[in-house]
Structure 1
Amino acid sequence: MDIRLTIDGHMLSATLEDSAAVRDFLALLPLALDLEDYAATEKIAQMPTKLSTAGAPAGMTPSIGDITYYAPWGNLAIFYKGLNYSAGLVKLGRIDGDIQVLRTAGPLKARIEVAG
Structure 2
Amino acid sequence: MKKPLCLSSILVTSLALAACSNNNSSSTDRDNTTNPLNQAPEQPKEDRISATRIKLTFNDKEVLINMYDNPASMAFLAQLPLTVTFEDYIRKEKISILQKRLSIDDVQAGDLSKKGDFAYYGPWGNVAIFYKGLEDATNDLIILGQIESGKENVENVDGNFTGRIEKVTK
* TM-score category (smaller protein): over 0.9
Whether contact under 8 Å (2:62, 2:153) holds in the other structure is: no
**Structure-1-length-normalised TM-score:** 0.92
Tell me, which stretches of 5 or more residues in structure 2 are unaligned?
1-51
Note if 1:89 corresponds to 2:141: yes
In 2, distance between residues paired with 1:57 and 1:7? 31
Secondary structure of 2:54 counterpart: strand
Alpha-carbon distance between aligned partners in 1 of 2:68 and 2:117, rounded to the nearest angstrom? 11
Question: Which amino acid letter does the alignment assign opposite residue 140 of structure 2?
Answer: G
Query: Which 4+ residue blocks in structure 1 deviate beyond 3 angstroms?
Result: none
Answer 1 or 2: higher relative contact order, Cα 8 Å, separation at least 6. Answer: 1
Letter in 1 for 2:92: T
- CA distance in 1 between partners of 2:127 and 2:69 (Å): 17
SS at match of 1:40: coil
Structure number with larger C-alpha Rg: 2
Unaligned runs of 5+ in 1: none
Are positions 1:113 and 2:166 aligned together? yes
* 1:52 corresponding residue in structure 2: 103
CA distance, structure 1, for counterparts of residue 150 and residue 77 of structure 2: 23
> What is the letter of the counterpart of residue 159 of structure 2?
G
Distance 2:115 2:84 in 1: 20
Shift, 1:56, TM fit: 2.7
Q: Which has the higher helix share?
A: 2
Superposition deviation, residue 5 in structure 1: 1.1
Q: d(CA) in 2 for partners of 1:55 and 1:24? A: 11
**What is the RMSD of the two structures over their aligned residues, measured on CA atoms?**
1.3
Does 1:42 find its partner at 2:93?
yes
Q: Which moved more, 1:86-95 or 1:31-40?
A: 86-95
